[in-house]
């Protein structure tokens, strides 16, 4: 007897349809899975066998062949356990095969018959909906990341027995009740806020500009000056993610297996890998070409603390994603392209001891040691960082005298107003540009109209600071964002002047 069940597989962050064909024939008892399965799929034979017996079903005797079609695409992971088990029950007469039609089934089985959560359930359910599937059965533990998906019935099963009874018509599983995305946004809360950062008005202003235009930032200052706290506050002033952005971000985390307990991501991600992180962990890779930290930070913030301590090859791998907004991972057995459009926030000490320029501690480093330390960051990477911010150390007596600080909500309102100006400006852009940091050479001049005085100041600054052509465009983009925050149609001299201040570290430290 033959039973056919619809399931899904993963290719990067996209799903594809897999049909599990289960055939039971007379002959010597055997259990074979074909269709280019990996080791975890082949091991499902023992999981399915134990789960059926421990759920009170008899395991069929005979020649069992499971084909996962299409046979030329590699099948990975344990998500095919539940469809294979249900297919065997259909072949054994315990389930009507017609009841399985029109339903996509996903789930890993434990030996006791319970259904365990799987990675990548969100992109697979989205693909199933786009393919016209009427309903999808997933592990109950995966329901939270699917609670905003409409247009398809989502059934949560916590055991093989419950799933079987549903298809037998004995105990119907109610579809998941969806929630509006706006409700999830109202329920979220932030653990940090800019009102907790005392002083540092110039650094806060620079981060507001970075958030408004999506610019990359490098903070240089002594230890304890608040660089890490301000970086962690950065997501709190970024605009709320749209629903499509939240889905795309959660798809990446679903594939990587890092979806938070709350399910669908409503807060912009903040990723902070340690400086000992490898190339594969940052960019992505492994045998299955899984996403790395730069993809997990998509639509959010990637924070690299102690920037010079990272390996040189790891830092240089950031160049292409910073320019293109995506990363392609190629391996012998897999190739995947992941989005990587993030705001890069870096921090570093100005010298090995960290006290250069400090008002409270003397610097013990020689000029040679300082230059060697700072030269760990290459010029091409530094060029791709739009803004360089000096963060000063604040004495304790000044901290105690500081008054009430501006909260993140107030800053975010100004950022959202500037983003709205950019959204209208780039509404018809064929390249899909949404923010100033994404401007390309083709449309830079049209979007960044300057006054004669501002243009002259920009050329003079580039000549005196010896800025590269890429740094020139970065200054112009930052000035465009400053003008947007000020509500100015044209870039004026004061906007260029402020933008150039965020490049003076080129001359001060590296010149």
Read off the pLDDT of residues 103-120 as tens digits, 9 standing for 90 and up: 999 999 999 999 999 999
pLDDT greater than 70 at residue 85: yes
Please give the average per-residue pLDDT across 417-428, as a whole number: 93
Whether 46 shows a pLDDT value over 70: the answer reads: yes
User: 329 with 275: CB under 8 angstroms?
Assistant: no
Q: How confident is the model at residue 43 (pLDDT cuts 50, 70, 90)?
A: very high
3-state secondary structure of 105: strand
Tell whether the model's pLDDT for residue 330 goes beyond 80. no
Average of per-residue pLDDT across 287-310: 91
pLDDT band at 333 (very low <50, low <70, confident <90, very high): low
Q: Are 218 and 307 in contact (CB under 8 A)?
A: yes
Those residues with Cβ within 8 angstroms of residue 494's Cβ, 6 or more apart along the chain or in another chain: none
21 three-class SS: strand
CA distance 2 to 101: 13
Average pLDDT on 304-312 reads 93
pLDDT greater than 50 at residue 147: yes
pTM score, two decimals? 0.89
Q: Which residue has the tokens 């018959």?
A: 113
What pLDDT score does 28 carry?
86
pLDDT value at position 298?
A: 95
Tell the burial category of 404 from Cβ atoms under 10 Å away from its Cβ (0-12, 13-18, 19+): exposed
Mean pLDDT taken over the chain: 90
Q: Is the pLDDT of residue 511 over 60?
A: no
């Amino acid at each position: 007897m033959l039973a056919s069940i619809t399931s899904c597989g993963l290719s990067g962050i996209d799903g594809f349809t897999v049909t599990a064909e289960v055939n039971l024939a007379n002959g010597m008892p055997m259990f074979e899975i074909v269709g280019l399965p990996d080791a975890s799929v082949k091991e499902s034979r023992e999981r399915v066998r134990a789960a059926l017996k421990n759920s009170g079903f008899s395991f069929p005797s005979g020649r069992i062949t499971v084909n996962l079609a299409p046979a030329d695409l590699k099948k990975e992971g344990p998500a095919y356990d539940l469809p294979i088990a249900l297919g065997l029950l259909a072949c054994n007469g315990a389930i009507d095969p017609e009841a399985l039609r029109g339903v996509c089934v996903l789930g890993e089985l434990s030996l006791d018959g319970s259904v365990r959560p799987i990675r990548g359930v969100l992109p697979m359910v989205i693909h199933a909906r786009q393919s016209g599937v009427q309903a999808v059965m997933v592990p109950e533990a995966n329901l939270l990341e699917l609670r905003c998906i409409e247009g398809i019935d989502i059934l949560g099963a916590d055991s093989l027995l419950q799933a079987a009874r549903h298809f037998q018509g004995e105990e119907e599983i109610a579809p998941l009740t969806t929630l509006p995305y706006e409700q999830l946004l109202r329920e979220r809360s932030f653990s940090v806020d800019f009102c907790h950062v005392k002083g540092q008005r110039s650094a806060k202003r620079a981060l507001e500009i970075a958030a408004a235009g999506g610019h990359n930032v490098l903070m240089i200052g002594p230890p304890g000056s608040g660089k890490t706290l301000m970086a962690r506050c950065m997501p709190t002033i970024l605009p709320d993610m749209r629903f499509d952005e939240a889905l795309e971000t959660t798809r990446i985390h679903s594939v990587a297996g890092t979806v938070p307990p709350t399910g669908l991501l409503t807060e912009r991600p903040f990723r902070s890998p340690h400086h000992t992180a490898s190339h594969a962990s940052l960019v992505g890779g492994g045998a299955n070409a899984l996403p790395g930290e730069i993809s997990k930070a998509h639509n959010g913030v990637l924070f690299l603390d102690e920037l010079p301590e990272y390996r040189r090859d790891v830092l240089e791998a950031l160049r292409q994603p910073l320019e293109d907004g995506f990363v392609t991972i190629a391996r012998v057995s897999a190739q995947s392209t992941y989005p990587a459009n993030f705001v890069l926030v870096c921090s570093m000490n100005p010298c090995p001891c960290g006290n250069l320029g400090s008002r409270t501690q003397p610097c013990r480093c020689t000029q040679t040691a300082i230059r060697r330390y700072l030269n760990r960051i290459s010029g091409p990477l530094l060029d791709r960082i739009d803004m360089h911010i000096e963060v000063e150390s604040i004495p304790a007596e000044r901290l105690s005298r500081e008054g009430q600080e501006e909260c993140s909500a107030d800053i975010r309102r100004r950022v959202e107003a500037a983003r709205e100006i950019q959204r209208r400006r780039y509404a018809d852009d064929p390249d899909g540009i949404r923010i100033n940091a994404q401007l390309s050479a083709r449309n830079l001049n049209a979007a960044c109209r300057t006054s004669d005085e501002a243009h002259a100041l920009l050329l003079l600054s580039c000549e005196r600071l010896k800025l590269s052509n890429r740094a020139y465009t970065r200054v112009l983009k930052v000035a465009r964002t400053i003008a947007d925050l000020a509500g100015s149609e044209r870039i004026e001299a004061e906007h260029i002047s402020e933008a150039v201040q965020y490049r003076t570290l080129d001359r001060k430290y590296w010149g």
